Amino acid sequence: MNDVALLIVDVQNDFCPGGALAVAEGDQVIPPLNEAAATIAQRGGAVFASRDWHPRQTKHFAEFGGKWPVHCVQGTEGAAFHPDLRLPEGTVIISKGTGTEDDGYSAFEGHTEDGKTLDEALRARGIKRLLVGGLATDYCVRASVLDALRHGYEVIVLTDAIRGVNLQPDDSARALQEMQNAGARLMSTAEALQQLG
């Protein structure tokens, strides 16, 4: 499995119940993601975890012309990974949304701690296949999956390990359809892990 990586998108306090931009049932992605992370790490795959990591003043926030309440401000408790998320040793953290002018939804717009893009970090490890889960289906999961496909990765979206914001009630369903049309495969975490052997 050493050409496989799990990409855990934005499982942060602010996107979970009680957070500043809470996604309904956002914390329910954690059990399947913990299982996937442990299994993949144990079988020689890599784990990447993105985090929404905004400056306090950004056009992403409603008070500066954007769409969203203040959330995931760099260094705050809301921006921390959810305490139940178990990231294996060696997990690579990708910080994104760090600019003041853009939304930065995709993990492919983010950087590792040593300044590599996600694509550079994946290529350096010979990763060809990505399992993707996390928050939110209709924003950062969607944008990250579509970018991964554009970069030529094989992508499996873990359907039990994602939840959406759903500003419009069918946003997540539409995002899933869009990801599938672009070439992503959709399956449960159990199916994906089984299929990888």
User: Would you please indicate which residues are annotated as catalytic (active-site) residues?
Assistant: 10, 96, 140
Count of chain residues binding ligand VGL (CB under 6 A): 7
136 binds ligand VGL (CB under 6 A): yes
**Choice between 3 and 178, CB closer to ligand VGL:** 178
Residues from 57 through 96 that contact ligand VGL (CB under 6 A):
68
Indicate the residue among 184 and 193 with the shorter CB distance to ligand VGL. 184
Residue 136 interacts with, from ligand VGL, Zn ion, none (CB under 5-8 Å by kind): ligand VGL
Contacts of 134 (CB under 8 A, 6+ apart): 7, 8, 9, 10, 11, 29, 33, 50, 140, 141, 161, 162
Minimum distance from residue 61 beta carbon to Zn ion (Å): 8
Give the nearer residue to Zn ion in terms of CB position, either 73 or 156: 73
Nearest distance, CB of residue 135 and ligand VGL, angstroms: 5
Contact of residue 139 among ligand VGL, Zn ion, none (CB under 5-8 Å per partner type): ligand VGL
Nearer to ligand VGL, 110 or 193 (CB): 110
Let me know if 90 is exposed, middle or buried by CB neighbors in 10 A (0-12, 13-18, 19+): exposed
| Interface residues toward Zn ion, by CB under 5 A | 52, 97
Interface residue list for ligand VGL (CB under 6 A): 10, 52, 68, 135-136, 139-140
